[in-house]
Amino acid sequence: MGREIKFSLMYRDMWQSSGKYMPRVDQLVKIAPVIVDMGCFARVETNGGGFEQINLLFGENPNKSVRDWTQPFNDAGILTHMLERGLNGIRMSPVPADVRRLLFKVKKKQGTDIARSFDGLNHAPNIIDSIKYAKEGGMIAQGTLCLTHSKIHTVEYYIELAEKLIAGGADEICLKDMAGIGRPVSLGKIVKGIKANHPDIIIQYHGHSGPGFAPVSILEVARAGADIIDVGMEPLSWGTGHTDLLTAYEILKDDGFSVPDINMKAYMEARSLTQSFIDDFLGYYINPRNRYMNSLLIGPGLPGGMMGSLMADLENNLASLNKWMAKRNKPSITQDELLVKLFEEVEYIWPKLGYPPLVTPYSQYVKNVALMNVIQMYKGKERWSMIADNIWDMMLGKSGQLPGKLDQEIIDLAKAQNREFFSGNPQDLYPDALSEFRKEMEDNNWDLGEDEEELMELAMHPVQYRAYKSGEAKKAFEEDLQKRKGEKDSPKAKPSTSQEVSPGATSTPKTMNIDVNGEQYRVTVSYGGKNESNSVSTGSAPAPSPAPAPTASSNGNLEEILAPVEGKFFKTKNASETAIKVGDQVNEGDIIGYIESMKVYNAISADKSGKVVEVCFNDGESVDEDDALIKVQ
């Protein structure tokens, strides 16, 4: 019998890489015993990443979900693991150190055994802090290498990073191939190099299947000494997800490895239950394109987890852009055209931004800059005209050291905007805050929760937690779900399967939903030849000054400051800012609010001075591009 290889089921990531939401807690509890009965999993990924926020968004308590969901695996002796983002904890933005410490203590007591900690920049100090906090909380600390492919991300680079993490206390190492673009032979060399220095260290391989390398990579890392392989299972394997368990099993068994037998009756039952969750409501948030394999993903290297939400974002951006084009009698753009332009732009700007590994949140940041660039250039504007503050923080060093050097073009743009670079410890920028959140809970008579888990939730996800407590989150989710059901279940809203095309494929007629001033229209779009006027150059462009929001004259001497992008409007981004109100005087360049779009806050500046006579939206309300945000006189 050959060397033993174990399997870990990525049940959380299967969903996040496919769409937006996770199953409800009653559904998770229903499938957990069936996963146990499959008899082939040493580990199951139960939570972490976007899991907590997703629960809150549809009005469910994530702490109850984690406790109830992990319990059957704890009882069966199957280790559970979570994914956490180092400095960013389990959210998209940096987290105070005291909140990070509480996170690990809470998750261990809730039933999570292993903390898989990564940093989106592979900045070792951020990961080592998480390793320290995880071990303090009683968890197994798994240090993670975010894999990508570039001239600076070499085999030696990753072996050296693993050495730093092991020296920092990591119990295990994970190779996180989040986009599935790690070249199989190179991945084998990385594993072999780590094992040469640390033969007893457990190495777990995590690879998404999108570009098609993953099955070969599984074989290469196993031959080199990897111990555990992450897998998915139908109906959510492949595509932007992971190699299916059955395929991984046969590959490894054929090469002589000892792999656990699979209870196929339980496999089919788990498969059927997962499909029933899709049919219940989760399928309304899964784009069919995410089930496709696509070699075009090799170029931009965008990760599977992000691709799960990208297509939904792209639909909104396409509708907004085409509305803008229609107003100006310009030809519309197809989704495939926009997607290919986005991929090309990601490839172009990634080196300029210092080669951040394309993993959450920095994959979203690079994608957002690329998409904003493409949209702005379609409108005849320059690159870099809309860059959110947290994206600037990444470039300025406030999240850690970039792997590569920023392009001089970006450095010059930072200087032109009086932005300062930071080279210290990123954690120092985010002071302890638990006492403030504790006071907020006391003031609201909110229970701190078992093991202070509710305090941790508020501190980690304040906006989403408050919406959950008020009931607004559940209300908004139910309204959105009913809207999607109405659109999808309507006889007129069911396109034939032949209308689905993979990214970059030749376009065929299809239907889509278009939002025009709040009204939903379902239209048929026929794709003709590519119009030359729609082309976007990917050549270099001079760095412009920051672009203010567009303006338009209205109602005599009143001026409207318009939204430059669709999203949710907020008057402030944090408690230290003062919200704009009627009667205030604004000057050209003043920040008048923010639009949250594609998971980042975009600052909106005034392009002229005047007295505010109307603030047109409340916090959290959705705005479309060209909507009037405030009116000045």
The single-letter code of the amino acid at 629 is L
pLDDT of residue 118: 95
Q: Can you tell me the distance from the alpha carbon of 375 to that of 383, in angstroms, rounded to the nearest whole number?
A: 9
Q: Can you tell me the distance from the alpha carbon of 329 to that of 227, in angstroms, rounded to the nearest whole number?
A: 59
pLDDT of residue 311: 66
CA dihedral sign of residues 468, 472, 477, 482: positive
pLDDT of residue 308: 54
CA 535 to chain centroid, in Å, comes to 28
Q: Can you tell me the distance from the alpha carbon of 566 to that of 316, in angstroms, rounded to the nearest whole number?
A: 8
Give the 3-state DSSP-derived string for 590-616, with helices as H, strands as E and coil as C. CEEEEEEECCEEEEEECCCCEEEEEEC
CA–CA distance from 531 to each of 330, 331, 332, 375, 535 (Å)? 10, 8, 9, 16, 7
Closest CA to 340 of 271, 396, 294: 294
pLDDT of residue 340: 86
Q: Helix, strand, or coil here: 553?
A: strand
Closest CA to 315 of 27, 605, 520, 620: 520
Q: Can you tell me the distance from the alpha carbon of 179 to that of 357, in angstroms, rounded to the nearest whole number?
A: 10
CA–CA distance from 398 to each of 132, 389, 421, 430 (Å)? 21, 11, 8, 10
Work out the angle at residue 214's Cα, subtended by the Cα atoms of residues 211 and 220, and round it to the nearest 5 degrees: 140
Report the b/e string of 87-108 with b at 16+ CB within 10 A. bbbbbbbbbbbebbbbbbbbbb
pLDDT of residue 432: 96
Q: Give the residue carrying structure tokens 């070499």.
A: 154
Q: Can you tell me the distance from the alpha carbon of 81 to that of 63, in angstroms, rounded to the nearest whole number?
A: 15
Question: What single-letter DSSP state applies at residue 79?
Answer: E
Closest CA to 312 of 334, 286, 332: 286
Q: Can you tell me the distance from the alpha carbon of 158 to that of 156, in angstroms, rounded to the nearest whole number?
A: 5
Residues 6+ apart with CB under 8 A from 170: 127, 131, 141, 142, 143
Q: Helix, strand, or coil here: 481?
A: helix
Report domain extents, the chain.
551-632
pLDDT of residue 349: 92
DSSP strands (E only) in 85-190: 114-117, 140-146, 172-177
Query: pTM score, two decimals?
Result: 0.78
Closest CA to 145 of 107, 113, 186: 186
Cβ-in-10-Å burial (0-12, 13-18, 19+) of 290 comes to: buried
Closest CA to 150 of 345, 304, 352: 352
CA–CA distance from 143 to each of 10, 126, 203, 262, 590 (Å)? 17, 11, 10, 29, 43
If the chain, 633 residues long, is cut into consecutive pieces of 10 residues, what is the mean pLDDT of each piece? Answer: 94 89 94 98 93 88 96 98 95 93 98 96 96 98 94 95 98 94 96 98 95 95 98 94 97 98 98 96 85 76 63 75 87 88 89 87 86 88 85 92 93 92 93 96 97 96 93 91 81 42 37 43 40 37 41 62 83 76 87 78 82 89 84 89
Backbone angles phi, psi at 569, to 5 degrees: -90, 135
CA dihedral sign of residues 251, 255, 260, 264: positive
Half-sphere exposure of 148 (CA within 13 A, CB side): 27
Cβ-in-10-Å burial (0-12, 13-18, 19+) of 500 comes to: middle
CATH of domain 551-632: 2.40.50.100
Q: Which pair of tokens denotes residue 374?
A: 């493409």
